[in-house]
Structure 1
Amino acid sequence: NVKTVTMDLNFYYQDIVRACFPNAQIVIDRFHMIQMLTRSFNSLRVKVMKTFDKRSRQYQLLKSSWKLYLKKYDELEKIHPRYNWHYKDCLTQAQVVMEGISANTA
């Protein structure tokens, strides 16, 4: 009678669910999906960041403001720039994120 089972990404849970509820549809819970995406994004950000010199603007944009990359774009400050000594410039939060995303290793 069980139609769906919600679980995290643990490989062994799937075997147990299949054994106990062979007709149930397995659904991955939202929390663990977001957690996996966040970890993957942060891993990529750090990998790209490490291609730059530690004193470079690109490195600082990707390192010092890491929390901004996890915010919804609509929630970023877009009007009032603030001075940041890491990259020695006045930028809004949205400008920091956009410039960091477009950082090029070439």
Structure 2
Amino acid sequence: MELSENVSQKHIALDNNISTQTVMRAAEGLFVYNKTNFHYLPQNIAFDDFKSGKFATSGMSMILIDSVNHRILDVMKDRGAGQLRAYFNQYSPAARAAVKTITVDLFTPYRAMIKDLFPNANIVADRFHVVTQAYRELNKVRISVMKQFGSDSKEYRQLKRFWKLLMKHENALDYMTSKNRINFKHAYLTDKEVIDRLLALSDELRDAYAFYQVIL
């Protein structure tokens, strides 16, 4: 999910087995009709931003969810750190103190706010965002290694051709079927053998790949 694009909205929809249109309707409906109980919060909550278009001035809003039953608790019209702090300050100290875990993305201002307003809450990194960040970093390393070899090199072409294999979970690779790989001088290689040859090109790439696989 790019994080700044429409991905968070899709993630909410997929995670709750609903359509993105349903997310939008729920957001608009909650904002207009929902009367929030500022004296209660579940022990485990999550909040995530989503692209809301004209619904918000910035085009991005924030949804508050009970992370146990996935029930939508509220929708915050703006995701800015100041606006979120003002919103959560409306909850009573007892309600905020009752929260034990908050699942959130990697956006740093959220973490500072959580520490200040939710004294008993542990922050749980949203796995979706963690995987996305690891994906980005692996791809960034791959491109960097490509540039080190130069666009006329066989290594450059190999890394460009087989980038999708690098992004797969290693359990999803074909370990059995050998195919004619034009970028490896027509050698017959399995997916795993292609990966091994790509990782042999760079220690940095090998390390980034290993970390990515752990995150997956």
Q: How far apart, CA to CA, are the structure 1 residues paired with 2:149 and 2:135?
A: 22
TM-score (norm: length of structure 2):
0.45
Indicate which of 132, 138, 142 corresponds to 1:41. Answer: 138
Equivalent residue for 2:164?
Answer: 67
Q: Which residue identity does 1:65 align to in structure 2?
A: F
Equivalent residue for 1:3?
Answer: 100
- Uncovered stretches (5+) of structure 1, i.e. residues with no partner: none
CA contact (8 A) 1:61 1:96 kept: no
Q: How far apart, CA to CA, are the structure 1 residues paired with 2:140 and 2:160?
A: 12
Equivalent residue for 2:179?
Answer: 82
Indicate which of 187, 197, 208 corresponds to 1:99. Answer: 197
Q: Which residue identity does 1:23 align to in structure 2?
A: N
TM-score (norm: length of structure 1):
0.85
Q: How far apart, CA to CA, are the structure 1 residues paired with 2:179 and 2:201?
A: 20
Q: Larger Rg: 1 or 2?
A: 2
- Uncovered stretches (5+) of structure 2, i.e. residues with no partner: 1-97, 203-216
Aligned residues: 105
CA RMSD of aligned residues (A): 1.9
Q: How far apart, CA to CA, are the structure 1 residues paired with 2:104 and 2:175?
A: 38
The farther-off stretch of 59-68 and 18-27 is: 18-27
Percent identity, aligned pairs only? Answer: 36
Q: How far apart, CA to CA, are the structure 1 residues paired with 2:100 and 2:151?
A: 52
Q: Deviations over 1:54-104 (max 9, x none)?
A: 232221221111010111222211222222334432322111111000015
Equivalent residue for 1:58?
Answer: 155
